[in-house]
A and B are shown apart, each in its own frame.
Chain A
Amino acid sequence: MSPVTIPEVEHAYPGSTGCPGCGANLVMRYLLKGLGERTILTIPACCWAVMPGYWPSHCLKVPMVYCAFEATGASLSGMRAALDMKGVEDVTVVGFAGDGGTVDIGLQALSGAAERETDALYVMYDNEAYMNTGIQRSGATPWGAWTATTPVGPSRDYKREPKKDIMSIMEAHGIPYAATVSVAHPEDFVKKAKKAKDVRGFKFIHALSPCPPGWKMNPMKTVEVARLAVDTNVFPLYEIENGRVRITKKGKGLPIKDYLSIQRRFGHLTEEEVKRMQESVDSSFKALEQREAREG
């Protein structure tokens, strides 16, 4: 067995107000292990705007700014500019936002910050819906999922549109580094966070963040479901460095139903619908592999 390389140091105290089994707690924990204490966060409206705790408590050992829902990218540019004026270069400024705050309401400011080449890291913790407000669909909700605004009544109005491909959107900005990370693979996660920290320019990390209440699953299975997302190729782990893609952790290629069946948000799907999802996942993953082979 190879030795564990995850730093033992913790930059988050216990006491976040996250739900039992919250994936976003782990995302923050591993991210800060990778980035270290010379980090400043800006966090818009999202679960993590509540999770640090009520004033005057604060469960993180790094300072953070609370910013407006749609303003994370702009907040990053403002923070970086202020640090530059003060001659502080060794601090990583990090935007930490949910999927709604990233792919929906925050997309404009995110795009602006990327285009401006703000030297910052943006982390999207993706629980695939507006979870802090009680499970409403976002542009990052996958096809087929139940949410409170895609109800599965007699007309079966589950989410009929595919998940917005934020990694491609960010890659199209020509940013130097983008990566996907999973709370089931902390070593890969921490390694990518460290790498992102050392790249100059705008960096983007997409973290899948299982949400037991929103995904309607057992809170004890957070890491398991995150692992299954990788092993079924629903959420492949890869990085795009200066335009070249590399799959960093191969999944086992398990059938997608293994991932879907432990989440009741997909419980209404027929075999035919699951098959359709499988085909979509297979085709996306194949394209990723082919691209890696081309660029490798």
Chain B
Amino acid sequence: MRKVMTGNYASAYGAKAARAEVIPAYPITPQTSIVEKLAEFVSTGELRAKFVPVESEHSAMAACVSASILGARTYTATSSHGLALMHEVLMWASGARLPVVMTNVSRAMAPPWSVWADHMDSVAERDTGWMQFFCESNQEVLDTIIMAYKVCESRGIMLPAMIIEDAFILSHTSEPVDVPDQDAVDSFLPSYDPEMKLEVGKPMGFGSLVRPDQYMEFRYKSMLAMREARDRILSVETEFKQVFGRSYGGLLDEYMCDDAEVALVAAGSVAGTARTVVDRLRAKGMRVGLARIRAFRPFPFQEFRSLASKVSGIAVLDRSYTHGAAGAFFTEIQGALYDVPKRPAMKNYIAGLGGRDITPDVIERIFEDILVRCERGSDPEPEWIDVVGLPRRQS
């Protein structure tokens, strides 16, 4: 059924389609309409679930974790400071191998206060053991939630996933979205039936104390699971496409990269803008492409190495910044390409922090700059795009 809806409603419809059973939620701008819609679904009986109105995001994730240990499919949503407050409990979810799925409406961190889009909140949680999926459209938000449950709940995986939609740009912008047929979703995503859960009559401790000679094995196993998730994400997407006719390009969604001289790497809603710029520049005869980071965790290691074999230059657009280093996407891609036979020229562009628009013009300039870099070589210094009134490094 096609409906016009915001990214936030797409999240709510995704959780509903996935038949989330326990939904602990706390409001935060601009996530709030997700949990409002879910409260409505539960209230009208459209979704059979327990809506738990917790008193903080920390408690939202803690309630998800405990409900999940008892075998319930859980969902919550948050944004920026709420995600940061959850930080500790994110690790409880991944450490206990619980397939919690959550939407993060990616928003800048204060101070100074900003409720608008950037990826600092999400990127800061990359080491928590969660899969992270950046979405480009509202349809992708809805579909990725359904796919994420199937990936997360796979026996060999059992890890949580974060579905990331850009604040306002997706969360509050309406697009036509196909809400998949419930019967089709039900057969694609069976009810949650974990191998291990806590039950009365089966006494055990979930999350016990381990000694130094035991701890590493637990982490090693979750590392293996996250590695295995790469293939699982691809196979689940293939299956999703067979049933619902849509797919999103796996871990790294390439657009016009096969014959490209340079590629722009970006994540989230800006990819939509970048596609139109690629089309425009292609029409002028420039061989440019887009490689959209769809999964940041697990990191598309092989995909980037394959991209590097095709292009001479890679521009990395980070919508966040790791102080004292560079954009996180950039440093990780650099690391992945250290020992490839032919290293492309690379440059990092920091743009769109705190909701600043990343316009087609900005992306066009990045493409022009990276084309120059192919001859001049890599630039180790990140460029902050259009920072006004402050001293800027001359290049």
Shortest CB–CB separation between residue A114 and chain B, in angstroms?
Answer: 10
The answer for the CA separation of A57 and B60 in the assembled complex, in Å, is 30
- Interface membership of chain A positions 91-117, coded 1 if the CB is closer than 8 angstroms to chain B and 0 otherwise: 100000000000000001101100110
Q: Which chain B residue has the least Cβ–Cβ distance from A109? A: B59
* B-facing residues in A44-65 (Cβ within 8 Å): 49-50, 52-58, 60-65
Q: Are A71 and B62 within 8 A (Cβ)?
A: yes
Q: Is A66 an interface residue (CB 8 A)?
A: yes
Q: Which of A33-41, A149-157, A187-195, A278-286 is near enough to bind chain B?
A: A33-41
Q: Is B203 an interface residue (CB 8 A)?
A: yes
Q: Are A116 and B198 within 8 A (Cβ)?
A: no
Q: Are A78 and B205 within 8 A (Cβ)?
A: no
* A-facing residues in B41-100 (Cβ within 8 Å): 48-50, 52-56, 58-60, 62-72, 74, 88-89, 92
Q: Which residues of A contact B50 (CB under 8 A)?
A: 81-82, 84-85
Chain A: residues with Cβ within 8 Å of the partner, total of: 46
Given contacts A74-B62, A109-B59, A111-B55, contact A82 B206 (CB under 8 A): no
Which residue, of A52, A58, A75, A77, has the highest number of chain B Cβ atoms within 10 A?
Answer: A77
Given contacts A78-B63, A84-B50, A108-B55, contact A63 B198 (CB under 8 A): yes
Give the residue of A52, A53, A85, A91 whose beta carbon is less than 8 angstroms from that of B72: A85
Shortest CB–CB separation between residue A5 and chain B, in angstroms?
Answer: 25
Shortest CB–CB separation between residue A35 and chain B, in angstroms?
Answer: 11
Given contacts A62-B203, A81-B22, contact A74 B63 (CB under 8 A): yes
Q: Is B323 an interface residue (CB 8 A)?
A: no
Q: Are A78 and B208 within 8 A (Cβ)?
A: no
Given contacts A65-B69, A71-B58, A82-B71, contact A55 B208 (CB under 8 A): yes
- Interface membership of chain A positions 173-195, coded 1 if the CB is closer than 8 angstroms to chain B and 0 otherwise: 00000000000000000000000
* A-facing residues in B166-216 (Cβ within 8 Å): 198-211, 214
Q: Are B72 and A70 within 8 A (Cβ)?
A: no
Q: Is A73 an interface residue (CB 8 A)?
A: yes
Q: Are A39 and B62 within 8 A (Cβ)?
A: no
Q: Which chain A residue has the least Cβ–Cβ distance from B88? A: A68
Give the residue of B55, B56, B62, B211 whose beta carbon is less than 8 angstroms from that of A115: B55
Shortest CB–CB separation between residue B385 and chain A, in angstroms?
Answer: 39
Q: Is B21 an interface residue (CB 8 A)?
A: yes
Q: Which residues of B contact A52 (CB under 8 A)?
A: 205, 208-209
Q: Is B24 an interface residue (CB 8 A)?
A: yes
Q: Is A79 an interface residue (CB 8 A)?
A: yes
The number of residue pairs between A and B whose CB atoms lie closer than 8 Å in the complex comes to 155
Given contacts A78-B24, A82-B67, contact A67 B208 (CB under 8 A): no
Given contacts A49-B209, A63-B198, A85-B22, contact A58 B59 (CB under 8 A): no
Shortest CB–CB separation between residue A126 and chain B, in angstroms?
Answer: 22
Given contacts A62-B200, A111-B55, A112-B56, contact A75 B208 (CB under 8 A): no
Q: Which chain A residue has the least Cβ–Cβ distance from B207? A: A66
Given contacts A37-B200, A85-B49, A111-B55, contact A68 B62 (CB under 8 A): yes
Q: Are B200 and A39 within 8 A (Cβ)?
A: yes
Q: Is A287 an interface residue (CB 8 A)?
A: no
Chain B: residues with Cβ within 8 Å of the partner, total of: 44
Q: Which residues of A contact B59 (CB under 8 A)?
A: 71, 73-74, 77, 108-109, 112
Q: Is A83 an interface residue (CB 8 A)?
A: yes
Q: Is A42 an interface residue (CB 8 A)?
A: yes
Q: Which residues of A contact B48 (CB under 8 A)?
A: 85
Q: Is A294 an interface residue (CB 8 A)?
A: no
Q: Are A75 and B207 within 8 A (Cβ)?
A: no
Q: Are B204 and A58 within 8 A (Cβ)?
A: yes
Shortest CB–CB separation between residue B20 and chain A, in angstroms?
Answer: 10
Q: Are A78 and B62 within 8 A (Cβ)?
A: yes
Given contacts A68-B89, A78-B62, A86-B71, contact A109 B55 (CB under 8 A): yes
Q: Which residues of B contact A65 (CB under 8 A)?
A: 66, 69, 198, 206-207
Give the residue of A55, A74, A109, A111 whose beta carbon is less than 8 angstroms from that of B205: A55
Shortest CB–CB separation between residue A187 and chain B, in angstroms?
Answer: 26
Shortest CB–CB separation between residue A69 and chain B, in angstroms?
Answer: 9
Shortest CB–CB separation between residue A90 and chain B, in angstroms?
Answer: 9
- Interface membership of chain B positions 18-31, coded 1 if the CB is closer than 8 angstroms to chain A and 0 otherwise: 00011010000000
Q: Which residues of B contact A66 (CB under 8 A)?
A: 205-208
Shortest CB–CB separation between residue B87 and chain A, in angstroms?
Answer: 11
Q: Which residues of A contact B53 (CB under 8 A)?
A: 116
Shortest CB–CB separation between residue A245 and chain B, in angstroms?
Answer: 27
Q: Are A74 and B58 within 8 A (Cβ)?
A: yes
Q: Which residues of B contact A70 (CB under 8 A)?
A: 58
Q: Which chain A residue has the least Cβ–Cβ distance from B51? A: A81
Q: Are B71 and A77 within 8 A (Cβ)?
A: no
The answer for the CA separation of A127 and B70 in the assembled complex, in Å, is 30
The answer for the CA separation of A84 and B66 in the assembled complex, in Å, is 13
Q: Which residues of A contact B199 (CB under 8 A)?
A: 63
Q: Which chain B residue has the least Cβ–Cβ distance from A60? A: B203
Q: Are A67 and B62 within 8 A (Cβ)?
A: yes
Shortest CB–CB separation between residue A264 and chain B, in angstroms?
Answer: 30
Q: Which residues of B contact A75 (CB under 8 A)?
A: 62-63, 65-66
Given contacts A55-B208, A65-B207, A66-B206, contact A78 B200 (CB under 8 A): no
Given contacts A85-B72, A109-B62, contact A56 B203 (CB under 8 A): no
Q: Which chain A residue has the least Cβ–Cβ distance from B50? A: A81
Shortest CB–CB separation between residue B263 and chain A, in angstroms?
Answer: 42
Q: Which chain B residue has the least Cβ–Cβ distance from A50? A: B209
Give the residue of B68, B198, B209, B210 whose beta carbon is less than 8 angstroms from that of A40: B198
Q: Which residues of A contact B211 (CB under 8 A)?
A: 54
A/B interface sample: 18 pairs, CB < 8 A: A37-B201, A52-B205, A56-B208, A60-B203, A65-B198, A67-B65, A74-B24, A77-B24, A78-B52, A81-B24, A81-B52, A82-B21, A82-B50, A85-B21, A86-B70, A109-B59, A111-B55, A116-B52
Since A65-B198, A74-B56, A74-B63 are in contact, a sample of 7 more A-B pairs with Cβ atoms closer than 8 Å, ordered by chain A residue number, is A40-B70, A49-B209, A78-B24, A81-B67, A82-B68, A86-B72, A109-B58
Instruction: List the 4 closest pairs (A to B, CB-CB), nearest first.
Output: A78-B63, A112-B55, A74-B59, A66-B207
